[in-house]
Chains A and B, each alone.
Chain A
């Protein structure tokens, strides 16, 4: 009877929970055990971003965090300013760069140093006014990493 009630309120068998927990913990383990992979991922991320913006390479921080149901990649890549527009030259002045204050951080723990220089970068098409009215200046880029079990041995 107790068993039945338990099953009624918690329909997921514990083996499914075990499977899911293992999947996440092994993904974290594999990332932690492959520092060279993480380093080259970080270098590639910076390289891609550097095509569009000036990145403060010395203060870049890429970490992985195991959360409740997902392993997330947290990339804190401070942006110093826009790159000079090379491909689509515009007659207008270079896009304004606004120092963002950390007034609306994403609802999660913050391992990044508070002093890191962060700039909110407007899209090239967006006017500075539109940027100012943007609801949330994004301080950090957050991406969900793929949570497929990795076989990096």
Chain B
């Protein structure tokens, strides 16, 4: 693990100008990597110097904290704040590796229907005044939890794997998000070797259907699993191509990177031999 250079935090603009961007990370289908994506994109954004707060909207199935490796430091959660049992500042967990990153964890013992939509939106609006980016990790499905997660967002990142079920659900979610929300796409868990042999949908196949601006493509590779095992987001690993892909995604969100997203290629024979991670 290589440490990334930490840029100094930018000076905060005057309060009346401040309104951070709220981006919901969503997919419809579960298990496509929403939480991993939220964690890594958030970390990469924060590492580039932006002030970022990650909000876990998956009430009842809290996971963003463990993927980030911050599970031991969560004291209060979203519903504590919404119910007035905790101050917002007390509920925000800091990340020592990336000081400009904060986490607002979901409640593990409550249900999605316990979240008051208007109160959630008001909280998101408050966060937008204090952060450059509010990233919301949306629960799977299109029910109340989804509705709450998208209510304060004006941008959405659709995470889609190259599978028929994921593409179909993503298409449905795009329809539900409507015209109001600016939508971009991350194709996750692409296996270049399978695509090459015609055994997996390609990025072009997926996006011929979804027709969204492509933010990036993440390969299905062991490094992501290993980094999640350790609670060390791969976006912090300066030597990882996948980490680099997440950092480029962050650059595209900020607008500093205008390059076309790279499609991951099959690792070379020697790469397979020596690139192993445990």
Contacts and interface: CB of A to CB of B under 8 A. Distances in A.
Interface residues of A, number: 16
Contacts of A13: 197-199
Q: Which of A14, A15, A16 has the most CB of B within 10 A?
A: A15
B211 A15 contact: no
Contacts of B202: 15
B195 interface: yes
B175 A23 contact: no
Contact of B168 (A16, A19, A26): A26
Contacts of A21: 164
Contact of A15 (B174, B175, B200, B209): B200
Given A22-B209, A149-B208, A151-B211, A29 B198 contact: no
A19 B175 contact: no
Contacts, number: 42
Contacts of A57: none
A144 interface: no
Given A15-B200, A15-B201, A29-B168, A149 B209 contact: yes
Interface string A1-43: 0000000000001111011011101100100010000000000
Summarize B's interface: helix, strand, loop or mixed.
Answer: helix
B80 interface: no
A21 B167 CA distance: 11
Contact of B199 (A15, A25, A26, A29): A15
A29 B163 CA distance: 17
Contact of A26 (B163, B171, B197): B171
A22 B175 CA distance: 16
B199 A33 contact: no
B205 interface: yes
Interface residues of B, number: 20
Given A22-B168, A26-B171, A16 B198 contact: yes
A153 interface: yes
A151 B179 CA distance: 13
A13 B164 CA distance: 15
Most buried by B among A21, A22, A23, A29: A22
Interface string B222-262: 00000000000000000000000000000000000000000
Interface string B161-198: 00110011001101100100000000000000001011
Contacts of A22: 164, 167-168, 201, 209
Please indicate which of the listed interface residues A13, A21, A153 has the most CB atoms of chain B within 10 Å of its own CB. Answer: A153
A29 B167 CA distance: 12
A23 B209 contact: yes
A19 B201 contact: yes
A15 B168 contact: no
Given A25-B168, A26-B168, A29-B172, A18 B201 contact: yes
12 contacts: A13-B199, A14-B198, A15-B195, A15-B200, A15-B202, A16-B198, A18-B201, A19-B201, A19-B205, A21-B164, A26-B209, A149-B208
Interface of B: 163-164, 167-168, 171-172, 174-175, 178, 195, 197-202, 205, 208-209, 211
Given A13-B199, A15-B198, A149-B208, 18 more contacts: A15-B195, A15-B202, A15-B205, A16-B198, A18-B163, A18-B205, A19-B201, A19-B205, A19-B208, A22-B164, A22-B168, A25-B168, A26-B168, A26-B209, A29-B168, A33-B175, A149-B209, A151-B211
Across the A-B interface, give the 5 residue pairs with the lowest CB-CB distance, nearest first: A13-B198, A153-B175, A15-B198, A18-B164, A22-B164
